[in-house]
Amino acid sequence: MARKIMVTGACSQLGRVVEVLLKAQADVEVVALRRSELDILDSAAVMSLVEDLKPATIINCAGFNDVAGAEIRLANKLPVNTRGVFNLAQAAAKYKVYFCTFSSKFVFNGKKSVPYVEDDELWPLNQYGSSKQGGEELVTDSLENHLIVRSDLLYGGGRDLVSRILDELRAGNQFKVSDDIFISPTYIGDLAAAMVALALKWAAGVYHYTNDAGGGVSCYEFAQAVAEGSGFDSSLLQAVPVSETNFGAPLLLPERAILNIDKFGGLFPPLVRPWREALEDYLRQ
């Protein structure tokens, strides 16, 4: 019998990629739900649908991911990261379903001198990070059979940093990029593949996944690689402190919240690849 996997947030770029990857698997039945088909903030609807569908697994790809916007849109956006995740986790617990969801490096404060491992203390600096911490805690308090995958700056869909850089450079505009915030830039297709691999293995607990950036690269270095890989003039990029970019005060960002990916790499070494290689592949597309 095929394993039935329910994907929520299937209208998101991440959800679409997860859906495609799952449908390529043998013995898997995918039920991909857009927000119009299931609002995860509606607890009764979630409980009823999980009861009716009887999935073996739920992979939640729904979420509000605008870090800066989260500071001013608490009431109408962030609940999807907390109450929505809780509703899914409660239904999963009641009907004994394996529940998988995504989280973020923003649950950490970036004060650690080496990359963060999965069980390090959570200490978010901003509202977005707090919502992700809240979602994680609601999941772990609701059921044991769960998977949480934390990641870093994603690109490959929507209005991400890569698309913003390319738009500005294409127009011949100067673009300010922080040189004091360090990241592990991650292609969304690679993150989706990591989640699918873990979910198919029934992995439990918390895992970190990013493209391999060692101790991290600055946003400015990443932007330079985007420009050079696309044939644009990298001299249009301006290295500035984060306070001089659109992500300045009052938003607090962790300076170097790099995620240790050894735990994931021990299971799936071929799925870990250098950030430059992933970026080059994406730009070639």
**In angstroms, rounded to a whole number, what is the distance separating the alpha carbons of residues 191 and 19?**
13
**In angstroms, rounded to a whole number, what is the distance separating the alpha carbons of residues 184 and 165?**
17
* Among 8, 6, 58, 15, residue whose Cα is nearest residue 189: 15
Catalytic residue among 98, 116, 128, 220: 128
Q: How many CB atoms lie within 10 A of CB 159?
A: 9
Please report the DSSP string for 183-222 in residue order.
E--EEHHHHHHHHHHHHHTT--EEEE---B-TT-EEHHHH
Q: Identify any residues that bridge with 139 across adjacent strands, giving them in sequence order.
A: none
Q: At what angle do helices 79-94 and 127-142 cross, to 10 degrees?
A: 10
Catalytic residue flag (residue 209) = no
Name the token pair of 218: 């600055």
Instruction: Say if residues 276 and 225 touch (Cβ distance below 8 Å).
Output: yes
The catalytic site residues sit at: 128
